[in-house]
């Protein structure tokens, strides 16, 4: 098999495969937008993929469809183009075009979840709309409403469809709200309702583990959901096998562990919540005030407390440098190959008898034909050890869950020392 790159038209038709020099998909992410860079030789075929807008600015007129050795396929959205020419001292001319952009989850990141997606933004009203149901049902209903059947036709993407709902995942609730700035002066109306469809997906996935995908099928972009697999019994990254190259654990002290809240609750408007026993240690206590005086809703007050505890908690991070080996590879299962995918739970042998399990949150794919020999590398990210991931660094709940998991690992390591 080989890595192939085919241009896509705006009607999702695949064109003849391109010659290419380097491909970086950095990275395929779990419930988050990935990025890519594609370097191709500049010739008549590749220049036909570049257009000029009305201001004479270069822009790509296409996307790309990548088939990674027959085990993984992904459509990519070209967003920028960078042609260049270099002339060496001996007169050799090298002219290339670099296309860069994202995967098509960027469409979901570019759409706000409307409280009433059947109308325009001007038609939205102040209030809250809770949506309850199976995780897949909630996600697909909101994606379809905001990008497929949206009342504002400029929000719709031609050829974008949602796969049939199979009602996978547990029961969740996602609340779409637009607050009144007059009633809550500290809240901006637009930003309060400003969560994107990708934000919504991550919020739902925190309640019921579920992943999302976008595939090119029959000339359409098809959005779907899937349940990650537990592969810890057969996908193990290990130094012994050459698939685990390094690991490290990093601790950070709490930024807040005594949350002092003021609310409008009739009983007990001043409450204190502790983020661990260190809050009672006078040398380690870090206080943070949070104002919820505009609300009397118990659920909202409780959630605000939990969020502040999570944000202030001591953050621990495990960093694993892993890679593919012939017996444990990324992509669809093949004979004799243990295939893992984004969102799957896998294991890593940290020390003899000590195994760390976590989710495959990203995979970086690189194919380089610019030097000899030609190389391909597949680098998975296990857990949230990528500080550059916007989806993770702003997610207090995910950080708290990860920190708890790594602290358990640290305790086990200390007990074995």
At 260-300, the pLDDT tens digits run: 888 776 556 788 887 776 777 888 788 888 887 766 666 66
Q: CA-to-CA distance for 270 and 263, rounded, in angstroms?
A: 7
Reported as a pLDDT band with limits 50, 70 and 90, residue 393 is very low
Query: What is the CA 275 to chain-centroid distance, rounded?
Result: 27
Q: Where are the domains of the chain?
A: 3-103, 109-226, 236-251+316-416, 258-297
Flag whether pLDDT at 249 surpasses 80: no
Rounded to a whole number of angstroms, the distance between the first and last alpha carbons of the chain is 46
Average pLDDT taken over every residue of the chain: 83
The encoded tokens of residue 296 equal 């009397």
**CB-based contacts of 374: which residues, under 8 Å, 6+ apart?**
367, 368
Q: Confidence band (pLDDT; 50, 70, 90) for 190? A: very low
pLDDT digits (tens, 9 = 90+) for 138-174: 999 999 999 999 999 999 999 999 999 999 999 998 9
Six token digits for residue 283: 């040398």
Residue 349 has pLDDT above 80, yes or no: yes
Average pLDDT over residues 353-380: 89
Contact 256, 287 (CB under 8 A): yes
Among 362, 371, 410, 368, which Cα is nearest to 389's? 362
Task: Provide the pairing of β-strand 72-87 with 93-103.
Answer: antiparallel
Helix ranges, 208-325 (H): 298-312
C-alpha distance from residue 195 to each of 26, 110, 274 (Å): 24, 10, 29
Calculated CA dihedral for residues 279, 282, 285, 288, nearest 10 degrees = 110
């Amino acid at each position: 098999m080989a890595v192939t790159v085919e241009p896509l038209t705006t009607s999702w038709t695949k064109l003849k495969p391109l010659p290419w020099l380097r491909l970086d998909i950095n990275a395929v992410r779990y419930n988050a937008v990935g990025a890519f860079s594609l370097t191709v030789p500049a010739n008549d075929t590749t220049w036909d993929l570049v257009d000029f807008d009305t201001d004479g600015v270069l822009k790509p007129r296409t996307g790309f469809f990548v088939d990674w050795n027959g085990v993984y396929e992904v459509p990519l959205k070209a967003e920028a183009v960078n042609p260049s020419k270099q002339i060496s001292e001996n007169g050799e001319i090298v002219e290339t075009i670099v296309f860069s952009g994202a995967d098509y989850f960027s469409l979901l990141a570019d759409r706000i979840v409307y409280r009433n997606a059947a109308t325009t933004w001007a038609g939205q009203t102040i209030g809250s709309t809770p949506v309850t149901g199976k995780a897949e049902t909630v996600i697909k209903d909101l994606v379809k409403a905001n990008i497929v059947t949206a009342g504002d036709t400029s929000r719709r993407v031609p050829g974008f469809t949602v796969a049939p709902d199979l009602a996978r995942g547990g029961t969740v609730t996602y609340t779409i709200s637009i607050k009144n700035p007059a009633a809550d002066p500290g809240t901006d109306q637009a930003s309060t309702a400003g969560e994107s469809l990708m934000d919504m997906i991550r919020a739902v996935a925190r309640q019921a583990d579920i992943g999302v995908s976008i595939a090119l099928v029959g000339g359409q972009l098809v959005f779907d959901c899937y349940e990650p697999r537990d592969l810890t019994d057969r996908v193990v990254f290990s130094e012994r096998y050459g698939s685990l190259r390094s690991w490290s654990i990093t601790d950070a002290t709490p930024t807040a562990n005594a949350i002092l809240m003021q609310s409008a609750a009739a009983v007990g408007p001043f409450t204190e919540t502790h983020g661990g026993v260190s809050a009672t240690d006078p040398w380690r206590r870090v206080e943070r005030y949070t104002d919820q005086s505009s609300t009397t809703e118990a659920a909202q007050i409780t959630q605000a407390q939990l969020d502040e505890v999570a944000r202030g908690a001591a953050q621990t991070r495990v960093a694993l440098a892993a890679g593919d080996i012939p017996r444990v590879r990324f992509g669809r299962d093949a004979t004799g190959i243990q295939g893992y995918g984004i969102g799957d739970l896998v294991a890593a042998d940290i020390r003899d008898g000590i195994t760390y399990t976590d989710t495959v949150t990203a995979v970086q794919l690189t194919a380089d034909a610019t030097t000899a020999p030609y190389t391909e590398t597949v680098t998975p990210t296990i857990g949230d050890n990528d500080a550059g991931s916007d989806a993770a660094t702003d997610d207090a709940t995910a950080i708290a869950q990860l920190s708890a998991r790594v602290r358990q690992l640290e305790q086990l390591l200390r007990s074995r020392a």
